[in-house]
Structure 1
């Protein structure tokens, strides 16, 4: 081996030559701009650590409409016994029959209606006959108004209802020369409750006065 080979500087294994380090550093510091730092967006939760959940707005229920009760008529007493007795006391004794009294217990009450604008009760004497006088008592909403006529006519009248506020009455009477048993005369009158006037309006005919 020659002398020149012994004088070559030895390269230590594992060491980087200074020239190579300088080149590496010069490459890192070239003119290119540094890479931008990424921006991190962070969602902030409300205090308590939980995200609020939206809730539906509270609604107030609509008020319930209560139907108003319809108007009803004013009704009188279901039992007209007291009114019948008072009417009999005001009438006095039956016309033309001395010592007679009205039979209030046997009064015909089939036409009485405590809620009708016009209703009636037929009052006859005690121990009456077919030709005995009768009185028709008129009522408005169960309140006694008075008799259908001022006179008390013989024979029992025929009373029919034509409406809630109207009645038709057929009176019997003997014509000239007829006996009571032969009576063939008829007279018809109507009675109507006039709400505006507050009274009963009569139209038609009644038996002739002897």
Structure 2
């Protein structure tokens, strides 16, 4: 897999090797992004005006060990273990752009499955607090594809009951009155493997 394609309300966003390609939405002013850090050659892009933003190389060394948060062991007959997959993904992921901090080598949420068409591992930055940026690392049969969105977002979680073998559902919480408060707005965003790429079926919050 060399790219991630994201589509919501009729407009596609394709993440190609080492870059994120941004496409203005036809029905909304909201910007949609997908990011990937593959080192393979770029694939063809949709026929829309685009701006390519290359990803910077990761400035810190690859973590030597990973502590997984998975509660149940997963058969790795189809691909790498969760620790191996996370280590490989973090070796390609640049430091978080807002805080300039490296990503913690510990998963804070995961439904990783090397046999699944689509699964994810959530990570946050080193020294994180309750509102720190988080990223969803996407995997196809254990192979790292890229991040769910270009920009890291706080208060992100996996909707485990809604996720399937070929779909990851993330929940984003925004507008709460305090870090520990359960108020605010929750937005569910579905990412689905279509047989060739990942499609973003819903719009994330602004």
- The answer as to whether partners of 1:122 and 1:136 remain within 8 angstroms in 2 is yes
Within 5 Å, which residues of 2 pair with 1:33-182? 75-77=78-80, 79-98=81-100, 100-104=101-105, 106-108=106-108, 110-160=110-160, 161-174=162-175, 178=177, 180=179
- Distance in structure 1 (CA, Å) of the matches to 2:109 and 2:96: 19
Which one has more relative contact order, counting CA pairs under 8 Å at least 6 apart?
2
Does 2:203 match 1:205? yes
Distance in 2 (CA, whole Å) between partners of 1:154 and 1:108 is: 12
Give the count of matched residue pairs. 128
Once the two structures are TM-superposed, the CA of residue 125 in structure 1 deviates from its matched residue by 1.0
Q: Greater share of helix residues, 1 or 2?
A: 1
In the alignment, structure 1 segments of 5+ residues that lack a partner are: 1-73
Give distance in 2, aligned partners of 1:126 and 1:91: 14
Q: Which runs of 5+ in 2 are unaligned?
A: 1-76
Separation of aligned partners in 2, 1:171 and 1:185:
8
Distance 1:75 1:146 in 2: 19
1:179 CA drift (Å): 5.3
The answer on whether the counterparts of 1:132 and 1:156 sit within 8 Å (CA) in structure 2 is no
CA distance in 2, matches of 1:168, 1:109: 13
**How far is the alpha carbon of 1:119 from its aligned partner?**
0.8
Q: Distance in 2 between matches of 1:169 and 1:156?
A: 7
TM-score (norm 1): 0.54
* 1:111-154 deviation digits (Å, cap 9, x = unpaired): 11010111111111122111101110111111111111111111
Q: Is residue 134–residue 157 contact of structure 1 (8 Å, CA) maintained in 2? A: no
1:154-182 Cα offsets, whole Å, 9 max, x none, are 1232332532111211101227xx55555
Structure 2 vs 1, CA of residues 172 and 95 (structure 1 numbering), >3 Å: closer, same or farther?
farther
Larger Rg: 1
The 3 A distance-change label for structure 1 pair 189 and 110 is closer
TM-score (norm 2): 0.55
SS of 1:163's equivalent in the other structure is coil
